[in-house]
Amino acid sequence: MNVPLLSDQIKSKFPDAVIAAHQYRGDDTVTIRPESIVRVAQTLRDDPAFQMNLLMDLTAVDYSKFAQEPQGKGGHINAGIALKQPSDIPDANPWPGPATQARFEVVYHFVSLPLKHRLRVKVPVEESKPEIDSISALWGGANWFEREVWDMFGIRFTGHPNLKRILMYAQFEGHPLRKDYPVTQRQPLIGPNN
Amino acid sequence: MFAGENFITSKLDDAIGWCRKFSLFQYPFVTACCGMEYMATACSHYDVDRFGAGFPRFSPRQADVLFVVGTISHKMAPVLKRICDQMAEPKWIVAFGVCTCTGGFYDNYATVQGIDTIVPVDVYIPGCPPRPENVLDGLIKLQDRIQQQHGTGIRPVLTPEDRARERSFTV
Amino acid sequence: MEQPQKTVQQQLETATRSYDPNTGLETRDMLLNIGPSHPAMHGIIRIVAKLDGETLKDIDVEIGYLHRAFEKMSETVSYNGVMPYTDRLNYVSPLINNMGYCMAIEKLLDLPVSERAHYIRVIMSEISRVTDHLTCVGASAMELGAFTVFLYMIKAREYLWELVEVVTGARLTISYCRVGGLKSDLPEGFAEKTHAAFAEVRKVLVEVDQLITRNRIFFDRMKGTGKISKEDALSYGMTGPFLRSTGVNYDVRKDFPYAIYDQVKFEVPLGTSGDNLDRYYVRMEEMEQSMRIVEQCLKQIPGGPVAVDPQTGKPMEASEMVDRAKMGQIDKITDKIAITDPTLEGSDSRVHDKILVSEKRVSLPAKEDTYGNIEGLMNHFKLVMFGHGIRPPKGEVYFPVEGANGELGFYVVSDGTDKAYRVRVRPPCFTIMSGLHKLLVGEQMADMVPTFGSVNMIGGELDR
């Protein structure tokens, strides 16, 4: 097949919007600027070259503690012979990592049913201004996904019709999937804080 | 002949306890995975009806036993408390599954670490989820407790012998 | 373009009263709260409905009552330690979750898994799919008053669970997959047991079919209710039986084949109108197709249904093996088979290499090696001790499998340590629930029950 990669097609269509693109383990990924997400998403949905009619997933990643933790205790597996860990073996096609220094990345997974291809679109979001345009006008399913990202990461989606907490209760303070939220910090509505 | 003036009342308590323990109207407060095992227990294979607890009532006002089946999150905790308060005495509460007993392996910001921090619990059935046999064992233990209870619904203070007797049921 | 979804509260503020021009009477909308604990809501969810008489004018769905922080917990445990948490996502078909998660990590590690392991995974996940559909159809039939169907289907599910228990050692939360393979091999006599169990399931399906498919009450309540168009279903990202009931042919097993799904023949049942009845038909047919896949797999599986070669290896108590190994008498214990806890059955050195990749950095050694020689013991410790374990390279992958409710995807980000940096699960019924108002608004109040039943909401997967 000589079909150009989807990320390359995006690059040629939106040369100003694309920050980076890579393929890792067969997943085609493109990182774009936050202000152009609606534009790109609209093209992905409506352009006959893409026909991404399913927004499969929308989530976010908090990169604030990425690769800062110690790399585990043992460097080698000593099973008779010393083996290097998979994480220490140089990869022929290594993952380039997050494209910018921004704390968050909002990750979209699009699928095209007619053309049977997938694309991951990532958008860096700065911690100082955790805002991004909502795409809930393009896909109905984005509505709840964006609410979940707001609930879990505290990223605001401008233009979202009903941005409120979805999994946690309204009295909950903080955003639990941020890396600085301690896993056992409970905020009970009733009962002790055990 | 008679053991004392308590003979009549204690026999009456026995009779009431016997009646109560074999006509348990349960409220399955099903939230999570344990509900699947609850279904299995309630249906024909394991047949909880053999123990007189076959008829689930989905109204707290008509139930005597609250089965808290599955993880209780902090969002759900006020609901559980309210349902417990709505139940009329005498009532019993069974913690079904390890999440309701201690929180299980969900030691995190969202999960209540054992429902006994918010409501009183009579019988704990551990397991993740407990097998139906385990559930039936817990039910029998509950019946044993109900039998010991005073006719007015006042719970007895358990002696060490009682506790040992309860433990002897353990598989 | 999509109308912005207002909450019921917002709508109430604008207009609650109106006058009926024919009668001149004032009508008022009514708010009805359903849930979070309600007999017709299997699962905990709260729906606030605005009613005009019996008609649903608007609904507001509140979820999150079973939020157990799956994604946060996954960041705190080792890669194989996430397995029990995945069981409890969609707890009616746990094996599909196990498989999806494992295959995502294997994709990250770029690790090929033996064909036999893939076959067993497919067999077990198709059995799980049948149990899921049995539960869904049975529960929704029960809510329509067909209690017998529920009892029959739970009976059938019990046969399958016994089958699952024989293989995995547990009925429901099985944690059967491992990164790189499986916990144990298929036990002796599995094929015969499967055929016997399927015969019972088929009997039940015929009975259920006779009981309700042409039953006037059931038919009328399912036909034409809870309708959704193709466009809406796609816009809301619905997948699985839900999308297929609208006529869109999308099944991950066919369109993006994984494991060995391209080597088995099966059909994807499609509906036409996207109503409750179509979803019921699709699920009933999918059960048959799943059983067909399992039967083919049992025929095609390399090494046959039971791979144990009884010629080699004599049994020996594990404790004795350890004692001898401590004293250095390892020549007496090579080629012996350890008698271990019954939960470890089917994972001894005879079958170990057939079900797990022989990659020391990923898979635990066979118990005979752990007990019998120091290299095996060290390898074991290096994988299970705190701070050690599987350490995939830095990277991110997304791997979708066909769950019982639709596409179940795992998006894993690794930062090269022994814990996942981020595990995101794409829950299939989350998207279905997000479009619930599309299904319900304009319908009668009573139609909420069959519609909600056919959604097959699973709390663990919806709220995670």
Consecutive H or E run containing A31: strand A27-32
Contact C200, C287 (CB under 8 A): no
Residues C108 and C33 in one domain: no
Residues C107 and C26 in one domain: no
**Nearest neighbour of C360 by CB, restricted to A79, A94, A167:** A79
C294 located within any domain:
yes
**Inter-axis angle of helices C190-208 and C115-143, to 10 degrees?**
30
Residue A166 to residue C64, Cβ atoms within 8 A = yes
Residue located via tokens 């809406």: C232
Question: From its phi and psi, is residue C35 left (phi > 0), alpha (psi between -120 and 50) or beta?
Answer: left
Query: How many Å is the Cα radius of gyration of chain A?
Result: 20
Residue A141 to residue C393, Cβ atoms within 8 A = no
Mean pLDDT of chain C: 84
Return the residue in B26, B31, B133 with the most chain C beta carbons within 10 A, the one to mutate for interface testing. Answer: B31
Q: What is the mean pLDDT of residues B134-154?
A: 82
Domains of chain A: 6-66+74-158 (3.30.460.80)
Residues C205 and C291 in one domain: yes
Please give the pLDDT value at position A70.
Answer: 56
Nearest CA in chain A to C236: A141
Dig out the tokens for C330 from the structure.
């390892």
pLDDT at C234 over 50: yes
Provide, for chain C, the percentages of residues in helix, strand and coil under a 3-state DSSP scheme, each rounded to the nearest 5.
Answer: 50, 15, 35
Q: What is the pLDDT of residues A6-45, one digit of tens each?
A: 888 888 888 888 888 888 888 889 999 988 888 888 888 8
Please give the pLDDT value at position C1.
Answer: 37
Return the residue in B68, B74, B76, B115 with the most chain A beta carbons within 10 A, the one to mutate for interface testing. Answer: B74
* Residues in C 55-84 with any Cβ partner in B closer than 8 A: 64-69, 72-73, 84
Residue B36 to residue C172, Cβ atoms within 8 A = yes
Please give the pLDDT value at position C14.
Answer: 55
Dig out the tokens for A21 from the structure.
């693109």
CA-angle at B12, arms to B11 and B16, nearest 5°: 120
Please give the pLDDT value at position C329.
Answer: 77
Closest approach of chain C CAs to the CA of B80, in angstroms? 9
C80 located within any domain:
yes
CATH of the domain at C142: 1.10.645.10
Residue C69 to residue B129, Cβ atoms within 8 A = no
Q: What is the mean pLDDT of residues C441-460?
A: 86
Contact B35, B28 (CB under 8 A): yes
Residues C100 and C227 in one domain: yes
Please give the pLDDT value at position B167.
Answer: 61
B30 touches chain C (CB under 8 A): yes
Residues C56 and C199 in one domain: no
Q: How many CB pairs under 8 A join A and C?
A: 180
Chains touching A (at least 3 CB pairs under 8 A) are B, C
* Domain stop point among C62, C79, C103: C62
In chain C, pLDDT over 70 holds for what percent of residues?
A: 93
| Residues of C with Cβ-Cβ distance to B131 under 8 angstroms | 171
Residues C167 and C290 in one domain: yes
C335 located within any domain:
no
CA-angle at C173, arms to C169 and C174, nearest 5°: 40
Handedness of CA A84, A86, A87, A92 (dihedral sign): positive
**Nearest neighbour of B45 by CB, restricted to C36, C91, C158:** C158
Q: What is the pLDDT of residues A35-60, one digit of tens each?
A: 888 888 888 888 888 888 889 999 99
Please give the pLDDT value at position A2.
Answer: 55
Residue of A75 and C320 predicted with greater confidence? C320
Closest approach of chain B CAs to the CA of A119, in angstroms? 33
Q: For B9-23, C13-27, C236-250, which range has the lowest pLDDT when averaged over its residues?
A: C13-27
**Furthest-apart CA atoms within chain B: distance in Å:** 62
Residue of A79 and A179 predicted with greater confidence? A179
Closest approach of chain A CAs to the CA of C155, in angstroms? 34
| Residues of C with Cβ-Cβ distance to A136 under 8 angstroms | 2
List C-alpha distances in Å: C323 to A50, C317, C333: 64, 10, 11
Please give the pLDDT value at position B165.
Answer: 65
Q: What is the mean pLDDT of residues C359-375?
A: 80
Return the residue in A151, A166, A167, A169 with the most chain B beta carbons within 10 A, the one to mutate for interface testing. Answer: A169
Please give the pLDDT value at position C311.
Answer: 54
Dig out the tokens for C383 from the structure.
């994988």
pLDDT at C387 over 80: no
Cα A178 from Cα B150, distance rounded (Å): 52
List the one residue out of B105, B43, B26 whose CA is nearest residue C173.
B105
Please give the pLDDT value at position A78.
Answer: 44
Residue B35 to residue C69, Cβ atoms within 8 A = no
Closest approach of chain A CAs to the CA of B19, in angstroms? 34
The ipTM, to two decimals, is: 0.90
Cα C187 from Cα C288, distance rounded (Å): 24
Residues C118 and C53 in one domain: no
**Nearest neighbour of C172 by CB, restricted to B33, B71, B73:** B33
B106 touches chain A (CB under 8 A): no
Residues forming beta bridges with residue B68, ordered by sequence position: B29, B95
C320 located within any domain:
no
Neighbours of C18 (CB within 10 A): 11
Residues forming beta bridges with residue C407, ordered by sequence position: C402
C324 located within any domain:
no
Please give the pLDDT value at position C413.
Answer: 92
Please give the pLDDT value at position B122.
Answer: 87
Residues C74 and C140 in one domain: yes
Residue C397 to residue A27, Cβ atoms within 8 A = yes
C46 touches chain A (CB under 8 A): no
Residues C86 and C26 in one domain: no
pLDDT at B153 over 80: no
Determine if the pTM surpasses 0.80: yes
Residue A187 to residue B75, Cβ atoms within 8 A = no
Q: What is the mean pLDDT of residues C204-208?
A: 91
Q: Which domain holds residue C234?
A: 70-305+391-463
Residue C88 to residue B79, Cβ atoms within 8 A = no
**Nearest neighbour of C173 by CB, restricted to B45, B71, B129:** B129
C133 touches chain B (CB under 8 A): no
Nearest CA in chain C to B112: C68
Closest approach of chain C CAs to the CA of B159, in angstroms? 37
Q: What is the pLDDT of residues B78-104, one digit of tens each?
A: 888 888 888 887 888 999 989 898 888
Kindly report the CATH number that applies to the domain delimited by B7-168: 3.40.50.12280
Q: What is the pLDDT of residues A57-112, one digit of tens each?
A: 999 999 888 877 655 444 444 444 456 677 777 777 788 878 888 889 999 999 98
For chain B, what are the domain ranges?
7-168
Return the residue in A152, A167, A189, A194 with the most chain B beta carbons within 10 A, the one to mutate for interface testing. Answer: A189
Residues C222 and C261 in one domain: yes
Mean pLDDT of chain A: 83
Neighbours of A39 (CB within 10 A): 15
**Nearest neighbour of B76 by CB, restricted to C39, C65, C155:** C65
In chain B, pLDDT over 70 holds for what percent of residues?
A: 85
| Residues of B with Cβ-Cβ distance to C74 under 8 angstroms | none
Q: What is the pLDDT of residues A107-141, one digit of tens each?
A: 999 998 888 888 999 999 988 888 899 998 888 88
Cα A170 from Cα A130, distance rounded (Å): 20
| Residues of B with Cβ-Cβ distance to C173 under 8 angstroms | 33, 128-129
**Nearest neighbour of B33 by CB, restricted to C37, C88, C150:** C88
Closest approach of chain C CAs to the CA of B96, in angstroms? 15
C359 located within any domain:
no
C426 located within any domain:
yes
**Nearest neighbour of A176 by CB, restricted to B75, B109, B112:** B109
Q: What is the mean pLDDT of residues B139-157?
A: 77
Number of structural domains (chain C) is 2
**Nearest neighbour of B108 by CB, restricted to A183, A190, A191:** A183
In this prediction, residue C13 has a pLDDT band, given cuts at 50, 70 and 90, of low
**Nearest neighbour of A56 by CB, restricted to C7, C375, C409:** C409
Residue of C183 and C2 predicted with greater confidence? C183
Residues C24 and C90 in one domain: no
Q: What is the pLDDT of residues B100-123, one digit of tens each?
A: 988 888 888 888 888 888 888 888
Residues C12 and C113 in one domain: no
Residues forming beta bridges with residue B94, ordered by sequence position: B67, B123
Could you please report the per-residue DSSP string of C105-161?
Answer: HHHHHT----HHHHHHHHHHHHHHHHHHHHHHHHHHHHHTT-HHHHHHHHHHHHHHH
In this prediction, residue C197 has a pLDDT band, given cuts at 50, 70 and 90, of very high
